[in-house]
Structure 1
Amino acid sequence: MESIREFIAASQHPHAYARALKESGTAIIGYLCSYTPEEIIHAAGLHPMRLFGSAEDISLADTHLQSYCCSLVRGALADVLAGNLEYLDGAVFPHTCDTIQRLSDIWRLNTKFRFFADVVLPVKLTTESSRAYLSDVLKKFRMDLEEAFDITITNEALHDSIQTFNTIRDMLNTLYEIRSENPSKISGRDLHGIVKGSMIMDRDAAAQALVKIADELRAEAAPPAPKRKRVLVAGSVCSHPDVYTMLEKAGAEVVWDDLCTGSRYFGGMISTSGDPIEAIAQRSFDRLICPAKHKSITIRGENLVQAAREHDARGVIFLQLKFCDPHSFDYPYLKEFLDSQHIPSMLLEVEDQLPGEGQLLTRFETFVHML
């Protein structure tokens, strides 16, 4: 399907896509976290571009970051130091974790882009004071963009942007539901490319293409569902489409996920009425949280179990970036929570490169066999 190939091409060659977009006169703002208020960037006429780190040699980051920082941050820093992100006009850093907070300072001191912003979002998402604080942070971010790019971000533009992102989220959720119902309709590898591409492509074009893909998949005759074990993948960022291919070889299908490059990215719609800044802030309270945020002691485990039950997943695979502190702290409690619900799980720790295919396939086969 041509539309799917467009997303996959963007996900595989993000720099080439961004440079072509830059040549059209579009200013590009980079970000690393799904809590970034993309709607405000988009409403400003700018392009929000998620950075995943693509430098083959991330040793350039060694002079600035300790070896125990995750490969996502090290890769992004290596990219900018190597000159691979010359197309950026700026970057946004939500305070997600200590490593990204430190990257923010290093980035600010070692780059000369037009725009830089720390967006310090609240951690505790259960109080009215945190809601008011978040709205104030987003209002300041709006004003910072207006000042830096000499523009006015109107409420009308924000509402239009919210509608665009709601379409993207709705269609991504639809594609996930289609795959959950029958994994033969779209491969896990292709769906991974679509989600990742959605964070890179022009958002208006992405929204239109996603509607087309969803319509075509719904209209297709359903092939027989594969006789593989159904699993859920949980973690932070998945930059390895080979994971999905190897799981299929091992006899499993990923039917849902709890990833910030997956369901956590598109979860939660934004109201199209009322104050748009308040509506954007509200989504942070409605969406599935990551370990860097807090709602209750057990909410992450409850969400994981609920997703596994709803999508008939027989096991959970934790795909965890090495040295990712928030997810590392979360893992023991989540495993214990899954054990109490008799849901098997396994932990796969990865960096910028996956373990050897033979080793990884053996681990997957062993886990799938016990489901």
Structure 2
Amino acid sequence: MSYQDTVKKLEQAALHPAKTVTEQIKETGKDAFGCFPIYTPEEIIYAAGLLPIGMWGGKTELKLADRYLQSFCCSIMRSNIEYGMKGTYNMLKGIILPTFCDTLKCICENWKVAVPQVPIVPIVYPQNRNIDAGFTYIVEELQRVKGELEKLTGKPVSSDDLEAAWELYEEYRKTMREFTDAAAEYPHIIGAKTRHLIIKAGYFMDKKAYMRDIRDIIAGLNAEEKKPFAGNRVVATGLLAEPVELLDIFEENQVAFAADDLAQESRQFRTPGRSQGSFFEKMAGRICDQKGDTFLYEEEKTRGQMLIDLVREKKADAVVIFMMKFCDPEEFDYPIYKKELEAAGIPMLYLEIDQQIDSFEQIRTRVQSFTEMLI
């Protein structure tokens, strides 16, 4: 099978998550366990003999979610509640939910009533991550999550299992960093939509199998001839870049992603783990070491300078902001890094998005106009 076939395979895996998860459950013999955005301790889930599955919403008709979430909550959370109430998530052994925003905090309790058949394990990260008390608190929260999973599965999770999972996920994160670097070198092969779908497929697959596919793609790309790209290269930032039809517009206008600062994509793997300490200390260290993320408190915001550095490093032409409608944390950050990007003379395109968008014509016009301005 050529690497192009592997690309198509992962694209289909991302486009049909229910089918992919069902197949993975059968292939691995593991129970699936849902992971709400954004940072869930997948390593502990994996060590417990479970299959971590990403829960990033999707395009669906919202009929039931209104009982628990108002219309001014973000579409990812509304979709997740809708899927849960419709029974889509009944295949899951349980879910884990971090409480990063007001909506997630509400879901933590609403889920128990709205979707009682799927157990929930909450996890709370501290605001002050970079003090000793904050670090200790994260360690204790992770240990509690391990205990909750042991109760759900009825099996103990050994230290060896935890360390093996840590090593696997560190290798996964390293491999994904290599993939995004390679994809940036071949924008004529890996367009914005393809790049997104390849990364997204990892949320629905066992990481061992997924890494084999990613390495196959990297090797295939590195064997290709590098060609000049006639279009524009941008850095994407925001919660996520969906629906996928949105990315068709970027490909139509020859706009490639040189890099991203998306919560669904590079924020998941851009920060390597620490090499010293126990499993739980290394897990806590990754949360403490994350920079430039709107969902993790920083006294001095570093996101703006991080985006500036990324644009310069990747020789990008602009920054595209994918602003999820009603995502308060992302909206709070925007004025701060907007001012910094303007001061640095970096062009920006602000797009307000929603997973339930039906018409893309306004966005198409804005992307077309923006690319013409960059010429």
1:20 aligns with 2:23: yes
1:304-339 Cα deviation digits (max 9, x unpaired):
111111111121111011111100111111111111
Identity fraction in percent = 27
* Corresponding residue for residue 242 of structure 2: 239
1:117 aligns with 2:118: no
Contact 1:236–1:261 (8 Å) recurs in 2? yes
- TM-score in terms of structure 2 length: 0.94
* Corresponding residue for residue 99 of structure 1: 103
Secondary structure of the 2:180 match is: helix
Summarize the Cα distance change of 1:55–1:187 in structure 2 as closer, same or farther, 3 Å threshold: closer
Partner Cα distance (2:111, 2:16) in 1: 23
Output the amino acid matched with 1:278.
E
Correspondence list, 1:2-151, <5 A: 2-23=5-26, 25-54=29-58, 56-113=60-117, 115-151=119-155
Secondary structure of the 2:194 match is: helix
Partner Cα distance (1:357, 1:143) in 2: 46
Partner Cα distance (1:125, 1:289) in 2: 13
Partner Cα distance (1:202, 1:4) in 2: 17
Output the amino acid matched with 1:327.
E
* Corresponding residue for residue 317 of structure 1: 320
Q: What is the CA-CA distance between 1:114 and the residue it aligns to?
A: 5.6
Correspondence list, 1:180-259, <5 A: 180-222=184-226, 224-259=227-262
Contact 1:267–1:288 (8 Å) recurs in 2? no
Correspondence for 1:175 among 173, 179, 199:
179
Partner Cα distance (1:138, 1:209) in 2: 30
Correspondence list, 1:154-165, <5 A: 154-165=158-169
1:266-310 Cα deviation digits (max 9, x unpaired):
111224554111111111122344212112323111211111111
* Corresponding residue for residue 301 of structure 1: 304
Contact 2:199–2:265 (8 Å) recurs in 1? yes
Contact 1:52–1:239 (8 Å) recurs in 2? no
Partner Cα distance (2:215, 2:276) in 1: 23
| Corresponding residue pairs, total | 370
Hey, which bits of structure 1, 4+ residues long, moved more than 6 A?
Answer: none
Q: What is the CA-CA distance between 1:356 and the residue it aligns to?
A: 2.8
Contact 1:162–1:272 (8 Å) recurs in 2? no
Secondary structure of the 1:136 match is: helix
1:370 aligns with 2:373: yes
* Structure 2 unaligned residues grouped into runs of 5+: none
* Structure 1 unaligned residues grouped into runs of 5+: none
Output the amino acid matched with 1:88.
L
Partner Cα distance (1:116, 1:354) in 2: 29
Correspondence list, 1:270-289, <5 A: 270-271=273-274, 274-289=277-292
1:85-139 Cα deviation digits (max 9, x unpaired):
1101101111111101111211112223463211001122221211111111111
User: Structure 1 residues 184-193 or 130-139, which shifts more?
Assistant: 184-193
Secondary structure of the 2:92 match is: coil
Partner Cα distance (1:291, 1:21) in 2: 32
Secondary structure of the 2:91 match is: coil
Summarize the Cα distance change of 1:244–1:29 in structure 2 as closer, same or farther, 3 Å threshold: same
Partner Cα distance (2:158, 2:275) in 1: 14
1:327 aligns with 2:330: yes
> Once superposed, what is the RMSD of the aligned Cα atoms?
1.7
Partner Cα distance (2:218, 2:355) in 1: 31
* Corresponding residue for residue 267 of structure 1: 270
Partner Cα distance (1:237, 1:124) in 2: 25
- TM-score in terms of structure 1 length: 0.95
Summarize the Cα distance change of 1:36–1:62 in structure 2 as closer, same or farther, 3 Å threshold: same
Partner Cα distance (1:185, 1:283) in 2: 32
Partner Cα distance (2:359, 2:191) in 1: 22
Output the amino acid matched with 2:262.
L
Secondary structure of the 2:70 match is: coil
Partner Cα distance (1:8, 1:304) in 2: 28
1:347 aligns with 2:350: yes
Partner Cα distance (2:26, 2:206) in 1: 13
* Corresponding residue for residue 338 of structure 1: 341
